[in-house]
Amino acid sequence: MKRLTAWLPELPILTWGKRYNKDLLTGDAIAAVIVTIMLIPQSLAYAMLAGLPPQAGIYASILPLVAYALFGSSNVLAVGPVAVASLMTASAIGQFAAAGSPDYWQAAIVLAFLSGGILLLLGLLRLGFFANFLSHPVISGFISASGLIIAASQVKHILGVKAEGENFFSLLASLATQAGHSHAATLAIGIGAIAFLFWTRKGLKPLLITWGVPARTADIIAKIGPVAAIAVTSLLVWSLGLDKAGVKVVGAVPQGLPPLTVPQWNPELWQALLVPAALISVVGFVESVSVGQTLAAKRRERIEPDQELVALGASNVAAAMTGGFPVTGGFARSVVNFDAGAQTPAAGVFTAVGLTLASLLLTPALYYLPQATLAATIIVAVLSLVDFSILKRTWAYSRLDFASVIGTLGATLLFGVEAGLLIGVSMSLAFFLYRTSKPHVAVVGWVPGTEHFRNIERHRVVTSPSVLGLRVDENLYFANARFLEDCINNAIATRPELKHVVLLCSAVNSIDASALESLENIEHQLRTAGISLHLSEVKGPVMDRLKGTAFLQHLSGKVYLTHFQAIGELAPELIKSEAEQKCATSGNACVRG
Amino acid sequence: MKRLTAWLPELPILTWGKRYNKDLLTGDAIAAVIVTIMLIPQSLAYAMLAGLPPQAGIYASILPLVAYALFGSSNVLAVGPVAVASLMTASAIGQFAAAGSPDYWQAAIVLAFLSGGILLLLGLLRLGFFANFLSHPVISGFISASGLIIAASQVKHILGVKAEGENFFSLLASLATQAGHSHAATLAIGIGAIAFLFWTRKGLKPLLITWGVPARTADIIAKIGPVAAIAVTSLLVWSLGLDKAGVKVVGAVPQGLPPLTVPQWNPELWQALLVPAALISVVGFVESVSVGQTLAAKRRERIEPDQELVALGASNVAAAMTGGFPVTGGFARSVVNFDAGAQTPAAGVFTAVGLTLASLLLTPALYYLPQATLAATIIVAVLSLVDFSILKRTWAYSRLDFASVIGTLGATLLFGVEAGLLIGVSMSLAFFLYRTSKPHVAVVGWVPGTEHFRNIERHRVVTSPSVLGLRVDENLYFANARFLEDCINNAIATRPELKHVVLLCSAVNSIDASALESLENIEHQLRTAGISLHLSEVKGPVMDRLKGTAFLQHLSGKVYLTHFQAIGELAPELIKSEAEQKCATSGNACVRG
């Protein structure tokens, strides 16, 4: 009980709940109405993408929103099915059951439950840093590839054909083969819907503004364009009887509240879905947090990443309990929520109420909705995910980061979402280790007349044959520990007169146990070769750690506060002769230390 | 042809071959005789550990030595079967065939070939940095756990019982159950051999020195103690007919040259052995390079890690071609080679000749050699690998490094060598990301009367409510990119008067593409909140990279050479009022800038 009360005060709802009033209520309610209208087509579409019946999409947008409102730290984040997580869901459970079968839906529920459990665990243990494994290049490559895969997966609904492929390229090939057998009416609806949706995005808003509609309202109207597409194409199908002519429609969607579901206990399935669930969780969390942070900063608010893990975890558990599938914070819906003026997470609760009403009353109206319209909605939505500008930017900035983008993109298109993501993460880690494994190490010399030491290759400096000064421009840790050993071994092999090595540590922020071992090896190797090792300009926190270690106790040399002191003591002749020279040229009397 | 000639001059043999003379020959030959004597029992023992017939150990010590002599860069490294690689071999191929069967030996040959191929590939592509994935804590934990597992696996030969276990602990349990059924004569030989071998290590050398034997010679004599143990126990078994009384002996070992073998083409087996081969390669390489570096440094020589990869790769391919199994540079034999005065890799060639003679002539003498003696040799050798002092040292130095040791040790004992190593590597990477994911970020303020800025929590400094100075003590890269966003979001959420944020970058050695994206996000978020972002004291190489990026072009603020300049321009009242105060107290006339 003590722990519960200790934890409760952190619940964001207790903060915003206290100050809730009529003004906030009005803002939240208006936003909820707009988001509800937008979410109906989106939920149906993403359920189709995930291979689930359309109502699953609506179910996944009700209780999860309430759960997020209870635990979330963002005032505007809207939780529900999103494109990438839906694709990952289809990819994960497609191996175990046929899309559309009850087993398939059961597996989706298990996946949501596992994903929720993982997020809750990470949040309660405050392990949000795990999301850091995903670098921006990896995420960019992965999201673009996912957008392409999703768009390609929907083209068959536009063409009215059957097409399948092991990966993106074989799917394209299959589509190319099938294109000749396209169903004319379906194609007409699909292409028409795509064209209309692109126009609502690009052309409608300027038009509304010229009509005198305020910019913000125009933006919101443009964003709910898919609803018009759904209404018009549904009416077309109904009035012309196109469903009997072969245009595939959504069909009967059960009316009513979301069902109460329990994830089925099946150890093999759970084990097999564990890795996919972890990947969906991390990708969803990263997406959600970046949306939340961007929007929060606009109002000088802030979100709490570890709290977001808990909230997303609760949302996914809620999805698993009500016939849904993995959910996360979506970009488009959160932006609409923000623009429509949502003030607190209560807007999410009102949206949930709206969607419950839709689920109770509106589903019969969806009977004649063509699948091609939903496919068009998805295609237009996901093409904005595909962004190749990152390629140009990373190429200019860093070739290793460029390689991470290309590698993740290619691996995802070739091997699918899970393998692609894992390959991308492995690559970025390998590249990072590679980048830091060979740090910049400069041999430094004295800049005469100053207390400064600079790279001998870039500056005019003087050095002593018996003292070697090395500056390492990187933290010392396991990835570069052996490199430093190599460096110093090379240096001593070519300098027969060497008596002292001084490591200038001004750019070393940390030294881990591996690097400490390497320093001990270096010290030992130098000692057997008759050379002493010294350190200079060691940072405070690094020195705190080194104190009391065997390395420092047995160090053959000393630790100097400044490199100038080190050289003054180890190679006094260098400074002295220079000082004499300086005296000779300046003509002043000299004091010798 | 051009590439071949471009590459050939790097072959170390072309350097030492030219200056080869009689003196070097004498040194190498003497060392070779001593190492040959030492290698006979060791080779037999490690073959037994790997689950192979004894002659496989001798075969693996002949052609690989010649291959290393051709390509290796160390003058003293002795290549052959070693304890940990033998254990890993047994673990990898034990899943596919029964120890002792022809299939088992075939799999060992495939494993050596794959391991050789991987090493060659890494060497030719200069990818030696991959070995950096293994941090010292992971290696220490892994080697200690391997030592314990190896020792435990040999106890059954000492007891003369059968015992098996899924992991270290179940093996111990099985041994405890079986101990009651020990075979008395076998136990007597085993315990006697262990006691004798420990005595040759600890007691013999001082004794020889008191007898007037030079320390170095005494050391070498002590190191070849196992030969005496083998001779005495073999004679015992032969003279007392103990083999008929149930003491297990090596039995008939075929006489002759190593056979020419070719790795069998079996795609499934190859695929299954790929990961184990990669792990054996990396562990073997790390072990070998650290031995080579330690010994080379003693004579102010150096080794070339990428060349070592090629040499070890060639050695393993050679092992695969002559009925051997995975080999690497061994610690004990290399030290003996060094101490005995080996001057060039030719010593290895002479050792190979010695072992060929042994294989041709000596094998009949091994018939009565008790397996218990070989087990004793192994146990005494591997117990020196077990070193728990790393636990104490890492506990004192860094808890995360300590956790890496314990995690690797525990995982290896529980789940075996492959899983243990992979878990250890994953843990150390996760810990590293964790460590750098939350870098030290200090809010800095001005030290009045100077140009210095210090942490406001540690020093008496002055700050302005409209300007926030932040110093980040870490490289900015994907693992901490989002942390910086959090940091700044938190900072602006609590400072309503804030107009400027200045990032003091003196401790930032690099910024990767992820961090650049985050900086862009931060800039954007600050801009929407009406705050400008500035940078100060950016290092040269970092600035070179940032030049030309969209981030710098669209930066709302400026890049200042020094933080003092930044504050002087952004919060002149701070410096001015302080200057006035100073004037007032000092009574001097003031010049205002």
Chain A residue numbers touching B524 (CB-CB < 8 A): 294
Q: What pLDDT digit, counting tens, does each position of A480-495 carry?
A: 887 888 888 888 888 8
Q: Which of A436, A437, A431 is nearest to A400 (CA)?
A: A431
CB-based contact B514 A302, cutoff 8 Å: no
Give every CB contact of residue B292 below 8 A, 6+ residues apart in sequence: B73, B74, B76, B77, B303, B308, B329, B334
In total, the C-beta contacts within 8 angstroms joining chain A to chain B are 197
CATH number at residue B562: 3.30.750.24
Question: Which of A422-426, B204-208, B315-319 shows the highest mean pLDDT?
Answer: B315-319
Residues 397-416 on B with a CB inside 8 Å of A are: 397-398, 401, 404
Sign of CA dihedral B509, B511, B515, B520: positive
Question: How much of chain B exceeds pLDDT 90, in percent?
Answer: 36
Among B405, B428, B455, the domain-final residue is B405
**Do the Cβ atoms of B398 and A512 come within 8 Å?**
yes
User: What is the domain range of residue A488?
Assistant: 441-578
Range B175-191 average pLDDT: 92
Query: Which is more confidently placed, B146 or B588?
Result: B146
Q: Using the predicted structure, report yes or no on whether residue A208 has a pLDDT greater than 60.
A: yes
User: B585 lies in a domain?
Assistant: no
Task: List the 124-183 stretch of A: residues with Cβ below 8 A of B.
Answer: 129-137
Please indicate, yes or no, if residue B428 is contained in any of the structural domains.
Answer: no
Which DSSP string do the residues of B120-154 spell out, in sequence order?
HHHHHTT-GGGGGGS-HHHHHHHHHHHHHHHHHHH
Q: Which of A293, A430, A549 sits opposite B485 (nearest CB)?
A: A293
A423 in a structural domain: no
Contact assignment for B512 to A302 by CB distance below 8 Å: no
B260 and B165 in a common domain: yes
Least confident of A96-105, B254-263, B429-438: B429-438
Q: When comparing pLDDT for B535 and A251, which is higher?
A: B535
Pair of tokens at residue A587: 């003509």
Q: How far apart, in whole angstroms, are the C-alpha atoms of residue B148 and residue A478?
A: 25
> Which range has highest mean pLDDT (A148-152, B491-495, B547-551)?
A148-152
Give the pLDDT confidence score for residue A351 in this predicted structure: 93
Backbone angles phi, psi at A465, to 5 degrees: -65, -20
Evaluate if residue B593 carries a pLDDT over 70. no
Q: Using CA coordinates, name the residue in chain A closest to B473.
A: A509
Task: Identify the pLDDT of residue A5.
Answer: 43
Examine the pLDDT at B11 and tell me if it is beyond 80.
no
- Tell me the shortest Cα–Cα distance from A243 to chain B, in angstroms: 48
Residue A15 counted as domain residue? no
> Which residue in chain B is spatially nearest to A524 when comparing CA positions?
B294
- Burial category of B125 from C-beta neighbours within 10 Å (exposed 0-12, middle 13-18, buried 19 and up): exposed
A432 vs A151: which has the higher pLDDT: A151
Stretch 269-298 of chain A: residues touching chain B, C-beta under 8 Å: 289-290, 293-294, 296-298
State the pLDDT confidence band at B589, using cuts at 50, 70 and 90.
Answer: very low
Residue A249 forms beta bridges with which residues? Answer: A370
Q: What is the pLDDT of residue B4?
A: 45
Q: Is residue B414 part of a domain?
A: no
- Is A492's CB within 8 Å of B134's CB? no
Predicted confidence band at A577 (pLDDT cuts at 50, 70, 90)? low
Does position B117 have pLDDT exceeding 60, yes or no? yes
Q: CA torsion angle for B248, B254, B255, B257 (degrees, to 10)?
A: -130
Of B405, B425, B454, the one marking the end of a domain is: B405
A435 in contact with chain B, both atoms CB, cutoff 8 A: yes
- Are B383 and B455 in the same domain? no
Q: Is the CA virtual torsion B21, B22, B28, B33 positive or negative?
A: positive
Helices marked H in B322-416: 331-339, 346-357, 371-383, 389-397, 399-415
Q: Is the pTM of this model over 0.80?
A: no
- 3-class secondary-structure state, position B45: helix
Q: Is A80 helix (H, G, I), strand (E, B) or coil?
A: strand
Cβ contact, residue pair A398, B545, below 8 Å: yes
Contact call for B297 and A528, based on CB within 8 A? yes
Question: Which of A:476-515 have CB within 8 Å of B?
Answer: 477-483, 485-486, 489-490, 492-493, 496, 507, 509-510, 512-514
Of B289, B298, B493, the CB nearest to A300: B493
ipTM for the complex? 0.73
Nearest by CB to residue A517, choosing from B136, B289, B521, is B136
How many domains is chain A built from? Answer: 2
CA distance A341 to chain B (A): 17
The predicted model gives A93-117 an average pLDDT of 91
Q: Are residues A345 and A481 in the same domain?
A: no
Q: Which residue has the higher pLDDT, B299 or B4?
A: B299
Q: Which of B297-311, B348-362, B492-506, B520-534 has the lowest mean pLDDT?
A: B297-311
What is the model's pLDDT at position B588?
A: 38
What counts of helices (H) and strands (E) characterise chain A? 27, 8
3-state SS, residue A498 = coil
- Is the predicted pLDDT of residue A226 greater than 50, yes or no? yes
pLDDT at A287 over 80: yes
Rounded to a whole number, what is the distance in Å from the CA of A476 to chain B's nearest CA?
12
State whether residue A394 sits within 8 Å of chain B by CB: yes
Asked if residue A501 and residue A380 are part of one domain, the reply reads: no
Asked whether residue B590 is domain-assigned, the answer is no
Cα angle, residue A209 at apex, residues A204 and A214 outer, rounded to 5°: 120
Instruction: Decide which of B405, B429, B450 is a domain's last residue.
Output: B405
Give B175's pLDDT tier (boundaries 50, 70, 90). Answer: very high
- Which residues on adjacent β-strands are paired with residue A370? A249
Q: Which of A135, A302, A478 sits opposite B478 (nearest CB)?
A: A135
Interface of A with B in 78-107 (CB under 8 A): none
Closest CA to B366 of B41, B92, B31, B149: B41
Is the domain of A446 the same as that of A339?
no
Contact state of A393 with B549 under an 8 Å Cβ cutoff: yes
Q: Which of A129, A402, A511 to mutate to test the interface with B (most CBs of B within 10 A)?
A: A129
Select from A34, A81, A93, A35 the least CA-distant residue to A55. A81
On chain A, the residues whose CB falls within 8 A of the CB of B487 are: none
Strongest mean pLDDT among A1-15, A444-458, B519-533: B519-533
Contact criterion met (CB < 8 Å) for B440 and A475: no
Looking at the domain assignment, is residue B209 inside a domain?
yes
Residues B148 and B81 placed together within one structural domain of the fold: yes
**For A510, nearest residue in chain B (alpha carbons):** B474
Asked if the Cβ–Cβ distance from A493 to B302 is below 8 Å, we say yes
> Both A382 and A446 in a single domain?
no
Task: Kindly state whether residues B387 and B286 are assigned to the same domain.
Answer: yes
Is residue A591 situated within a structural domain? no
B392 with B476, same domain?
A: no
| Chain B residues near residue A483 by CB distance under 8 angstroms | 129, 132
Q: What is the CA radius of gyration of chain A?
A: 32
Whether A480 and A381 map to the same domain: the answer is no
Compute the nearest-CA separation of A13 from chain B (Å). 18
B370 and B459 in a common domain: no
- A545 near B CB under 8 A: yes
Both B386 and B467 in one domain: the answer is no
